[in-house]
């Protein structure tokens, strides 16, 4: 079966499921719900429920099968298993009866969607030609994932998958995935990393006030100076060249009006100190302070006004030069 046909069939099946589910209100409109999880035990082991943060769970076993009954306040993602047995690596707790067989869960919207996606990716893998497997599979997976996210925008699987896919995407694409989710899904714990990434980008736009600043930067702003916060890392191969360009650029401006704070994103304190020990400037040098700003790639600079508002964000020295020349 071709990759195009796999994706088309997925759209048809999941569109029906999603429409019915959304008309019913979706899991995120409920205030608490009952659920059951059923499956066959392996080696007589019952799934470990510690860490689920769900009260009043009841676990029954009979004839080699387990049955977990509980009430949750909101849909959540769990791993179902024990230290020895992986029953289901990713399971979505939602209202209804969830059945786990051979590592895959069915019975609710999110679990059905994940199982369908797993089957679709299995078929995709088999359809990839030899010698082109990696490239074809990656393109096909990306297309499938976007379809499943769109169709499942109102249930937890859509949010969970959007968060995972967004990790390798630029912020504009990640934001598009996030904004395409239903409002309740955006608030889900499983979507938190994506939600926080979008929020950081919102706080990092020109005109926004930066409220979380190191004392050293705050003091410069209070002295009525503009401040360039330059995020960098010693492992960047062009760092020394860039630092020299920044030094020459800022030398053109009055120190009473403009100050520089360089913040290294190095994990190692020793590498950071080694990189700055011969720096002839009197720049403020800090490490590991994000200031709540979006740092999607390194290097990146933010120009702040004396009132702490973002005047410009620049990924290159040329962009920073243009912003400074327009200002002074």
Question: In this prediction, what percent of the chain has a pLDDT beyond 90?
Answer: 76
pLDDT band, very low/low/confident/very high, at 10 (cuts 50, 70, 90): low
Residue 112 lies in a domain: yes
| 193 and 236 co-located in one domain | no
| 231 and 128 co-located in one domain | no
**Structure-token pair, residue 119:** 């089957």
β-pairing verdict for 76-81 and 65-72: unpaired
Residue 209 lies in a domain: no
What is the C-alpha to C-alpha distance for residues 4 and 124, in angstroms, rounded to an integer? 10
80-101 average pLDDT score: 93
| 175-184 per-position pLDDT tens digit | 999 999 999 9
What is the C-alpha to C-alpha distance for residues 233 and 230, in angstroms, rounded to an integer? 10
CA distances from 171 to 118, 202, 227, 265 (A): 26, 11, 25, 19
What is the C-alpha to C-alpha distance for residues 58 and 230, in angstroms, rounded to an integer? 55
Residue 3 lies in a domain: yes
| 239 and 306 co-located in one domain | yes
Domain count, the chain: 2
| 23 and 44 co-located in one domain | yes
Tally DSSP H helices, then E strands, for the chain. Answer: 11, 12
Most confident of 5-14, 89-98, 236-245: 89-98
| 225 and 191 co-located in one domain | no
Domain boundary among 170, 203, 236: 203
Looking up residue 237, the CATH number of its domain turns out to be: 3.40.30.10
pLDDT, residue 7, reads 53
**Structure-token pair, residue 240:** 């020394």
Residue 208 lies in a domain: no
pLDDT at 60 over 60: yes
Beta pairing partners, 33: 72
**Do residues 278 and 299 touch, judged by C-beta distance below 8 A?**
no
296-319 average pLDDT score: 96
Residue 210 lies in a domain: no
pLDDT, residue 22, reads 46
| 16 and 76 co-located in one domain | yes
| 48 and 108 co-located in one domain | yes
| 37 and 101 co-located in one domain | yes
pLDDT at 151 over 80: yes
| 119 and 263 co-located in one domain | no
| 161 and 45 co-located in one domain | yes
| 71-81 per-position pLDDT tens digit | 999 999 999 99
pLDDT at 1 over 70: no
Residue 273 lies in a domain: yes
| 53 and 182 co-located in one domain | yes
Strand order in the sheet with 284-287: 284-287, 258-264, 226-232, 300-304, 310-314
φ and ψ at 226, to 5 degrees? -80, 145
Domain boundary among 171, 203, 235: 203
What is the C-alpha to C-alpha distance for residues 114 and 109, in angstroms, rounded to an integer? 9
| 30-42 per-position pLDDT tens digit | 579 999 999 999 8
| 247-278 per-position pLDDT tens digit | 999 999 999 999 999 999 999 999 999 989 87
Domain boundary among 175, 203, 231: 203
| 199 and 219 co-located in one domain | no
Angle of CA points 195, 93, 34, to nearest 5°: 125
For the chain, the farthest-separated pair of C-alpha atoms sits apart, in whole angstroms, at 81
Domain that holds residue 139: 1-203
């Amino acid at each position: 079966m071709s990759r195009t046909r796999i994706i088309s069939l997925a759209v048809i099946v999941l569109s029906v499921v999603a429409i019915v589910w959304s008309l019913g209100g979706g899991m995120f409109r409920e205030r608490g719900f009952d659920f059951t999880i059923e499956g066959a035990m392996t080696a007589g082991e019952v799934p470990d429920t510690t860490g689920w943060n769900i009260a009043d769970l009841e676990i029954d076993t009979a004839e080699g099968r387990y049955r977990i009954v509980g009430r949750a306040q909101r849909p959540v993602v769990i791993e179902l298993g024990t230290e020895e047995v992986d029953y289901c690596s990713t399971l979505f707790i939602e209202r209804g009866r969830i059945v786990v067989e051979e590592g895959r869960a069915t019975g609710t919207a999110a679990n059905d969607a994940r199982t369908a996606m797993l089957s679709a990716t299995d078929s995709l893998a088999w359809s990839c030609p030899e010698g082109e497997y990696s490239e074809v599979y990656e393109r096909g997976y990306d297309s499938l994932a976007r379809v499943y996210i769109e169709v499942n925008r109102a249930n937890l699987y859509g949010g969970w998958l959007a968060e995972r896919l967004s990790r390798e995407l630029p912020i504009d694409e990640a934001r598009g995935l996030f904004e395409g989710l239903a409002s309740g899904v955006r608030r889900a714990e499983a979507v938190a990393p994506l939600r926080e990434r979008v929020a950081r980008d919102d706080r990092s736009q020109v005109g926004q006030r930066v409220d979380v600043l190191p004392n050293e930067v705050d003091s410069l702003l209070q002295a009525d100076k503009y401040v360039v916060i330059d995020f960098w890392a010693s492992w960047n191969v062009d760092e020394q060249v860039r630092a020299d360009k920044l030094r020459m650029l800022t030398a053109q401006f009055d120190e009473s009006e403009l100050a520089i704070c360089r913040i290294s994103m190095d994990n190692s304190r020793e590498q950071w100190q080694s990189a700055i020990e011969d720096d002839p400037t009197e720049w403020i040098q800090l490490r590991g302070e994000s200031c709540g700003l979006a740092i999607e790639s390194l290097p990146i600079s933010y120009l702040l006004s004396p009132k702490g508002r973002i005047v410009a964000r620049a990924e290159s020295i040329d962009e920073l030069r243009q912003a400074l020349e327009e200002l002074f």
